[in-house]
Structure 1
Amino acid sequence: MCVSDRINPTLLHIEQRRSIRTFIDKPVSDDHLMAILRAANQAPSAHNQQSWKFIVIRGERKKELAALVNAKAAGLPKAAAVLLRMAARSINSAPVVIVVANTGELISHGTELFQIEPSQAYDFFQTMEIQSSAAAIENLLLAATALGLATVWLGILFLLKDEVLRFMGEEQGEFMAVIPVGYAAKTGKAPKKIDFDMMVKWLD
């Protein structure tokens, strides 16, 4: 980042955000929790449908989710099992976990609204739901960073998406993410990024 970027708090929080997998034993206040959830809900969404749901779990329910992940890991190939066990430790370690799911409402309304081939309409609106929820999750991660909280986006739990949704009591919709939230046990180092010039294409 250039020097001028570092005095802008939003850009600074983007730079400071890390994926943290271990947390100290310190609760997250309800005020902080509501602040990051409200930030997530402010994300842009296709047709302003906000077709996302945030499920907050703590206490015994959180421990049960970690146990479910550990149990399911045993039946998967080694590489996936290792990552799932790491995810279970992060869930156990964090004081609170937020599960994000798509509701499917945009898909339902959109396929009725657009008179196109049903499978094409489904793919179109499913993609827009995923894009919308991803924007909400990033808002949540950055808001947490701004408040001194640590997070990690556990995408590996997609391998257990149906089991996780059933555990949450969400039989409908689509799994997006499991996000442990807390205070970092140690600060992670920024991963090395691909050279910026290789990621940008300019057309005049």
Structure 2
Amino acid sequence: MCVSDPASMTLQAIEQRRSIRSFMDHPVSEEDLLTILRAANQAPSAHNQQSWRFVVIRGQRKKELVDLVKAKAGEFPKAASVLLRMAARSIHSAPVVVVVANTGELISHGTELFQIERDQALDFFKTMEIQSSAAAIQNLLVAATSLGLATVWLGILFLIKDDVLRLMGEQAGEFMAVIPVGYAAKPGKAPKKIDFEMMVEWMD
């Protein structure tokens, strides 16, 4: 398989993706930002509802997010507080940050349409919205890697998701992710993975 083969390039980007938490002071072009956002928007979604929103923040709004995370970190026990402060440093060093939020539209419409017990329908569509948004984020991470950009998925900010969404002007939702985007200040190391054979079970 030649290096320029699209399948090979995609697999290479997946293999090379790393979680980078420190970024160079170098701007990301609008063209590259639009490329990774379009890649995210191409992700599969439940009933093709694309029940996600991408909020791109820079400048003053990014500073406000850093200040919010630092302030909220003090409200949590040590382990969570340390991770939140680390996240604030990553956001601060990145030239641009993408916040991904669920719209809640699939949850509200699906729960009304499905003729099953309401709590069960709510849980079902909430899970599908989360799965859809997670797929979009993975697309974004891999696309960024393919362009030579670095990213990190800051899952710890879920602890203060409603505060973050409020700052972004978004409604409180069931899912929120924050992804700093930029150029790595230093190469990321590949994490040690569990043996592949232990993760797969074959059934006939």
TM over 0.5: yes
Match of 2:68 in 1: 68
1:29 aligned onto 2:29: yes
Inter-partner Cα distance in structure 1 for 2:195 and 2:89: 32
1:150 aligned onto 2:137: no
Using the size of structure 1 for normalisation, the TM-score is 0.96
Local SS of the residue matching 1:56: strand
Using the size of structure 2 for normalisation, the TM-score is 0.96
**2:56 maps to amino acid:** V
Inter-partner Cα distance in structure 1 for 2:180 and 2:172: 23
- The Cα of 1:5 is off from its aligned counterpart by 9.6
Match of 2:10 in 1: 10
TM-superposition CA deviations, 1:134-172 (whole Å, max 9, x none)? 000000000000000000000000110111111111124
Matches within 5 A, 1:1-204: 8-204=8-204
Which moved further from structure 2: 165-174 or 50-59? 165-174
TM-superposition CA deviations, 1:74-94 (whole Å, max 9, x none)? 121000000000000000000
Asked if structure 1 preserves the Cα contact closer than 8 Å seen for 2:130 and 2:175, the reply is no
Local SS of the residue matching 1:138: helix
Inter-partner Cα distance in structure 2 for 1:169 and 1:10: 35
Change (3 A) 1:156 1:101: same
Q: Which runs of 5+ in 2 are unaligned?
A: none
TM-superposition CA deviations, 1:157-203 (whole Å, max 9, x none)? 01101111111111243332000000000011100000000000001
Inter-partner Cα distance in structure 1 for 2:26 and 2:2: 32
**1:99 maps to amino acid:** V
- The Cα of 1:72 is off from its aligned counterpart by 0.6
Inter-partner Cα distance in structure 1 for 2:175 and 2:122: 16
Asked if structure 2 preserves the Cα contact closer than 8 Å seen for 1:18 and 1:190, the reply is yes
User: Which runs of 4 or more aligned residues in structure 1 lie more than 3 Å from their structure 2 counterparts after TM superposition?
Assistant: 4-7
**1:83 maps to amino acid:** L
Change (3 A) 1:76 1:142: same
Local SS of the residue matching 1:143: helix
Asked if structure 1 preserves the Cα contact closer than 8 Å seen for 2:126 and 2:174, the reply is no
**Identity between Structure 1 and Structure 2 (%):** 78
Local SS of the residue matching 1:75: coil
Inter-partner Cα distance in structure 1 for 2:129 and 2:121: 12
Inter-partner Cα distance in structure 1 for 2:46 and 2:193: 30
- The Cα of 1:34 is off from its aligned counterpart by 0.3
Local SS of the residue matching 1:101: strand
Number of aligned residue pairs = 201
Asked if structure 1 preserves the Cα contact closer than 8 Å seen for 2:39 and 2:139, the reply is yes
Inter-partner Cα distance in structure 2 for 1:135 and 1:111: 22
Local SS of the residue matching 2:26: coil
Local SS of the residue matching 2:83: helix
Inter-partner Cα distance in structure 2 for 1:90 and 1:5: 36
- The Cα of 1:109 is off from its aligned counterpart by 1.1
